[in-house]
Chains A and B, each alone.
Chain A
Amino acid sequence: MYLRDPIAVPADSVSRRRYLRERVAREEAEALLEGKSRELYDANQRLQGLLSTMEQAVHERTQELVESRVAAESANEAKSVFLASMSHEIRTPLNGILGMAQALDDSGLSDEQAKLVTILGDSGRLLLAIINDVLDISKIEAGKLEFEIIPYQLTELLDGMRHHYQFRAREKGLEFHTELTPAARCLVKTDPVRLQQVVGNLLSNAIKFTEVGSVTLSVDVIPHRSGKSVLSIKVKDTGPGIPKAQQFRLFERFSQANASVTRVHGGTGLGLAISRHICELMEGEISLRSVPGEGAEFHAKVMVEETKGKVAQCNGRSTTDAGRSLSNLRVLAAEDNRTNQVVLKHMLKKVGLTLDIVDNGEKAVQAWQKTRYDMVLMDINMPVMDGIEATRRIRELESRNMQEPTPILAVSANAMVHQVAGYLSKGMSGHVAKPISRESLVEAMATALRAEGRWPE
């Protein structure tokens, strides 16, 4: 150690030079601290400024976001309203076209004329199918595709498909087979309408693209580890098949395997896209296996719940039977649209029932009070008083007078699931969507009468 031990604490007095040196050092430190304080203050001011600018910016940005959210929501709302009104507006004239075609067909035409009317009817139904596709894809995009899950017998699915497609296949000289495994002979909870839409789309494509051979529909139900079951639907054809490179595009919107398909076969190119979305929304998927030259097999899978118990089964009576049984009824129709009035009149003429028509809800209530009707067909959107209000009044009068409820069928172009549910909750007995066909109208009338216990046995 080169330094000596610490020396004793020095005396109280301090030399002048030491005092001056310490003072200079202190003053320097004070000046430095003052400068630092100033810097800190300035930096703090800048931060405060930044903070308020930032708060302002955040506020403005939040405001902008709120505005654009509101704008987006109202645009979406407008789109939904537009969809609903387009659905209604297009269905009403179509109802006229299809109804009149049927009325013409019933009016005793020559063979030549009957052929023309058939084309007219087919074209109308095709137009309806296209409109339904466009509406469906819009609903899917808006996240508004609705499902109505009810118990459904899968044999009904096969019967329905055979009924619709067997004839079309045979017309083209194709064999049409259906296979239902024993496991699939059961009652499942699903949306039958959407299911039929998917299967119908696959079958109609298969028939459309197959020139020789057969189209086969196979249905199976396989238990799933989730406790639910997988409903497996395969549609196999012996058509030309689809090249690998084109397969992935098939399920896209507005897209067909290639542009020439549109020229040769027509179609919107929406069917498979809609089917894919429906399957996905039903927790399933749709896939395709195809080798060019060896046909194609589309495989749709959806989740269903197996259920026990009975469904309200159709008792097997055909429409003609139902129609015959309706012949003695007295029916009131409230319908403001002239065309639709004519359609109703012609459709029910053959059935032979007595039909009175009024053009608004108020008149319907008055007519109902004067005459005892077996059934009321009620349009929803009418001037003076709408169908919902008219139904409410009739139900009120019935309960006041302790009368049996009259079956009231909503006949409306507002056919979305939630709308139909709304009608039923407001006292209506059933619903028929426009454009109506005689078959669906008569069936709905028979069902409503059965439900009210008025079915003439």
Chain B
Amino acid sequence: MKGIIFVELIRMAESVMGEEAVDDILEKVNLENDGAFSAVGNYPCRELLQIVDAVGAELGAPVEALHKQFGHWMFGRFVEGYPTFFEGKTDGFDMLESIENEVHVEVRKLYPEVELPTFATEWLAGGQFKMIYASERPLQHFCHGLVEACLLHFKQDVSIEMTERKDGGSFYAEFLMQTAA
């Protein structure tokens, strides 16, 4: 998993818990590199999950909610760092639809070795929009946060219904979105 996710997770944690608390957590969790993450490096996803678990334990917060919170944070970083991907997008659905065929195409140019999740999208009758997350990693709540932040970014009033499913080693989450009448 790309180091930028780790770096951003730590930055988010630091912004709310302070450096000392984060340093303590990183020391407590058994990490291969003692938490010395670089944005350009690659690290096991397992360590990300361990850090989130430890933050949750420290704050007494549900892990799923933390993942979702991290999704919001990360979306903000995307808006700031990669504005070109947002150019010409009419709404959140349009943006979500472009992940697979625009954003990921660019990511693969820089990092040919990455394993990316897939985001299958579908426009349904009655203004509904469906997106299915599929990945080897259980980051469906992080994904949920990203979707919410995306719709907020485009100022859309949309209800999101999330259905999880695990099949073998893969994680799936279906997000059914309904624009408010």
Contact partners of B66 in chain A: CB under 8 A: 2-3
Contact partners of B20 in chain A: CB under 8 A: 15
B16 CB to nearest A CB, Å: 4
Q: Does B45 contact A (CB under 8 A)?
A: no
Q: Does A22 contact B (CB under 8 A)?
A: yes
Inter-chain contact B23/A29, CB cutoff 8 Å: no
Q: Mark B1-45, 1 if CB is under 8 A from A, else 0.
A: 000000000000001111110010011000001111111110000
Inter-chain contact A28/B33, CB cutoff 8 Å: yes
Inter-chain contact B38/A28, CB cutoff 8 Å: yes
B28 CB to nearest A CB, Å: 12
Contact partners of B37 in chain A: CB under 8 A: 25
Q: Does A57 contact B (CB under 8 A)?
A: no
CB-CB contacts below 8 Å: B30-75 with A: 33-41, 59, 61-62, 65-66, 69
Inter-chain contact A32/B16, CB cutoff 8 Å: no
Q: Please count how many residues in chain A sit with their CB below 8 Å of the partner chain's CB atoms.
A: 23
Inter-chain contact B26/A21, CB cutoff 8 Å: yes
Q: Does A182 contact B (CB under 8 A)?
A: no
Inter-chain contact B35/A3, CB cutoff 8 Å: no
Inter-chain contact A3/B38, CB cutoff 8 Å: no
Select which of B17, B26, B35 is within 8 A of A4 by beta carbon. Answer: B17
Inter-chain contact A29/B65, CB cutoff 8 Å: no
Select which of B16, B34, B35 is within 8 A of A7 by beta carbon. Answer: B16
Task: Return the chain B residue nearest A23 by Cβ.
Answer: B36
Contact partners of B36 in chain A: CB under 8 A: 20-25, 28
CB-CB contacts below 8 Å: A27-52 with B: 28-29, 32-33
A409 CB to nearest B CB, Å: 81
Q: Bound state CA distance, A24 and B65, in angstroms?
A: 31
Inter-chain contact A3/B16, CB cutoff 8 Å: yes
A50 CB to nearest B CB, Å: 19
Q: What are 29 pairs between A and B in contact, CB < 8 Å?
A: A1-B69, A2-B59, A2-B61, A2-B62, A2-B65, A2-B66, A2-B69, A3-B16, A3-B17, A3-B69, A4-B16, A5-B16, A6-B16, A14-B19, A15-B20, A15-B23, A17-B27, A18-B19, A20-B36, A21-B23, A24-B34, A24-B36, A25-B36, A25-B37, A25-B38, A25-B41, A28-B33, A28-B36, A29-B38
When A and B form their complex, which 8 residue pairs have the shortest distance between CB atoms, in order from nearest?
A2-B61, A24-B36, A29-B38, A3-B16, A25-B36, A25-B38, A21-B36, A7-B18
Q: Residues of B with Cβ closer than 8 Å to A?
A: 15-20, 23, 26-27, 33-41, 59, 61-62, 65-66, 69
Apart from A2-B61, A4-B16, A21-B23, what 18 extra A-B contacts exist at CB < 8 Å? A1-B69, A2-B59, A3-B61, A3-B66, A5-B16, A7-B15, A7-B16, A7-B18, A15-B19, A17-B23, A18-B23, A21-B36, A24-B36, A25-B33, A25-B37, A28-B38, A29-B38, A33-B40
